[in-house]
Amino acid sequence: MSLVVIGTVAFDAIETPFGKTDKIVGGAATYAGLAASYFYDKVKIVAVVGDDFPEAEIKDFNAHNIDTEGLQIKKGEKSFFWSGKYHNDMNSRDTLVTELNVLADFDPIIPASYQDCEYLMLGNLTPTIQQTVIGRLHNRPKLIVMDTMNFWMDIAMDDLLKTISMVDVLTINDSEARQLSGEHSLVKAAKKILAMGPKYLIIKKGEHGALLFGEGQIFSAPALPLADVFDPTGAGDTFAGGFIGYLAKVGTINFNNMKNAIIYGSALASFCVEKFGTERLKNLGDTDVAARVQEFVRLAQFTIV
Amino acid sequence: MSLVVIGTVAFDAIETPFGKTDKIVGGAATYAGLAASYFYDKVKIVAVVGDDFPEAEIKDFNAHNIDTEGLQIKKGEKSFFWSGKYHNDMNSRDTLVTELNVLADFDPIIPASYQDCEYLMLGNLTPTIQQTVIGRLHNRPKLIVMDTMNFWMDIAMDDLLKTISMVDVLTINDSEARQLSGEHSLVKAAKKILAMGPKYLIIKKGEHGALLFGEGQIFSAPALPLADVFDPTGAGDTFAGGFIGYLAKVGTINFNNMKNAIIYGSALASFCVEKFGTERLKNLGDTDVAARVQEFVRLAQFTIV
């Protein structure tokens, strides 16, 4: 049994008020795969890169027990590249450069060894490609988690709705939930979105935490208040990867386990933003994660007598 | 021993996407006093109204065990009047009318019977008037909670800082915390604001809940996700009144009790917004409050094993 992550593996160049980077490794599948690897040792990536992608980075995935057989390397082509600059409040950013490169005609290949997929993480990507991956798995995974963004709501709503109808858990942010549902109240938005197919909806609210809707219940998870957010890039992917990785570890899908999965995902995301790119995420000890989760416990717990 | 609430007792005319009201009773002391009365039976109000203020409304305070000896009634003058219109997202509003009337030369009189004040709630008001009230109490109360707003930061920062230096707990919203401290990170903002004097800082984040800082700890309280916010007027005052009322009831000031006080204050505020003005707040049963608090427990609790 395995956890398959599909998404981008790419180069980012990032500028924040704290500094800027040259091309560093990023991408939804990179962040989600690394995050999941802290909980589950059978993480497998489906993605595409060009032959400019460093061999050492692939070895780094493998060192985290991440299977890269599904990572296509296109000879003579270049990897997807994104460059962005964050504003002072770190909540908004400008895209400076988007070079699709190998992503332009990405045809996700599922190796035979990936057909044991029990948990499927559909990282943010063209909705039709997300659908293709589901179609190419011989057995419907036990759990499909889908991340997406407003960009697809703007240009491919019908495809997006089709994909949403096929998944178990959708993760989007609050403004995307409002856009997708046409409702301002997140309670009403959640009701409409759950009627589109998913059994669970996670609304990510950045520094305000996250809301989980499903089984007629609501869970409100806090975000860890941070003195400095160094680089928010990949935080949402890290959250999603930690979330599904934790669920793959515990193996039982229910509301209570999802609550804890959100706390573990949030803990991983809180590490992600402490340094540029994947730097902090690549070098976490097990006690780091456990200690950070206890900070969430202290932050949120109260006892009514 | 008693809980003294100072603030406005006034008329509001409110327009929201759900409807509009004629002049109804509002004001910070009205909301805070009513909220506190659900936890503590020795609530005493300091405020001023004109002789246009209905006798029946004063009787209503008394029916909630709220002492109105400190409520001055100015013959031949009119009560403070505010009129506002909320935008569709309910998070922003336009002020249509502000008539200070009796508030223009409000000189807060502390009746002798109020000198047993142990808990003091300084509702949002001119900072110098808040200071005057502290000065006119013969003994420094055990706990002083102060609410304020960006308006005073804009026009009376020095007076505001002086008053802030005299209190134990300050409650402001997130944008006000950023304005007051000059820091975007709420962690950094809290550190600077706690250095201004208060031992505790509560940052209200509306639909995103609230943060409590103090004793080197942070507590993140959720807000109850609501399908409809009918009228947000008075929610912050209700929160503050419920907060200090609960602390007056338990009698011991520490971080743990403050966490619960925030939950109780949030529960009261969640009722407040369900109807126009004080309508919902005036008619709560004890089991209503207890049941709502249990919704907060279900919303926020998780167990890491």
User: A149-187 burial by CB neighbour count: b if 16+ within 10 A, else e?
Assistant: eeebbeebeebbebbbebbbbbbbbbebbbbbbebebbe
Yes or no: say if A24 and A13 are a contact pair by the CB < 8 Å rule.
yes
CB burial of residue A62 (10 Å; 0-12, 13-18, 19+): exposed
Show the tokens assigned to B267. 């529960």
- pLDDT of B24 reads 95
Determine the distance in angstroms separating the CA of A69 from the nearest CA of chain B, rounded to an integer.
Answer: 34
Report whether pLDDT(A30) > 80: yes
Q: Is A208 on the interface with B (CB under 8 A)?
A: yes
- pLDDT of B91 reads 75
Distant-in-sequence, close-in-space partners of A263: CB < 8 Å, separation ≥ 6: A221, A293, A296, B302, B304
Q: Would you call A225 and B187 a contact, using CB atoms and an 8 Å cutoff?
A: yes
Considering only residues 88 to 107 of chain B, which have any Cβ-Cβ distance to chain A shorter than 8 Å? 88-90
Q: Hey, is B167 helix, strand or coil?
A: coil
CATH topology of domain B2-300: UDP-N-acetylmuramoyl-L-alanine:D-glutamate ligase (3.40.1190)
pLDDT single digits (tens) A61-95: 999 999 999 999 999 999 999 999 998 877 789 99
Size of interface A-B (CB pairs under 8 A): 90
Show the tokens assigned to A79. 């990897």
CA distances from B6 to A256, B48, B82, B105, B270 (A): 44, 10, 18, 15, 22
Q: Would you call A225 and B226 a contact, using CB atoms and an 8 Å cutoff?
A: no
Q: Hey, is A207 helix, strand or coil?
A: helix
- pLDDT of A88 reads 80
The ipTM of this complex is 0.94
Number of C-alpha atoms within 13 angstroms, CB side, residue A224?
Answer: 27
Q: Would you call B263 and A209 a contact, using CB atoms and an 8 Å cutoff?
A: no
List beta partners, residue B19.
B16
Q: Would you call B300 and A263 a contact, using CB atoms and an 8 Å cutoff?
A: no
- pLDDT of A271 reads 97
User: How many residues comprise chain B?
Assistant: 305
Residue with tokens 């803990």: A267
Q: Which helix (H) or strand (E) holds A66?
A: strand A66-74
Q: Is B250 on the interface with A (CB under 8 A)?
A: no
The structural domains of chain A, with segments of one domain joined by +, span 2-300
Residue with tokens 């402001």: B172
Report the C-alpha gap between A218 and A198 in whole angstroms: 15
pLDDT tens for chain B, residues 1 to 305: 999 999 999 999 999 988 899 999 999 999 999 999 999 999 999 999 999 999 999 999 999 999 999 999 999 999 999 999 998 877 789 999 999 999 999 999 999 999 999 999 999 999 999 999 999 999 999 999 999 999 999 999 999 999 999 999 999 999 999 999 999 999 999 999 999 999 999 999 999 999 999 999 999 999 999 998 889 999 999 999 999 999 999 999 999 999 999 999 999 999 999 999 999 999 998 799 999 999 999 999 999 97
CB burial of residue B305 (10 Å; 0-12, 13-18, 19+): exposed
Under the banding of pLDDT at 50, 70 and 90, the label for residue A43 is: very high
- pLDDT of B17 reads 87
Q: Which of B219, B226, B259 sits opposite A185 (nearest CB)?
A: B226
Considering only residues 134 to 193 of chain A, which have any Cβ-Cβ distance to chain B shorter than 8 Å? 184-188
Q: Which is more confidently placed, B228 or A194?
A: A194
- pLDDT of A294 reads 97
Other C-beta atoms lying within 10 Å of the C-beta of residue A40: 21
Q: Which is more confidently placed, A88 or A226?
A: A226
Determine the distance in angstroms separating the CA of B276 from the nearest CA of chain A, rounded to an integer.
Answer: 18
Q: Would you call A301 and B301 a contact, using CB atoms and an 8 Å cutoff?
A: yes
Q: Which of B229, B221, B216, B183 is nearest to B202 (CA)?
A: B221
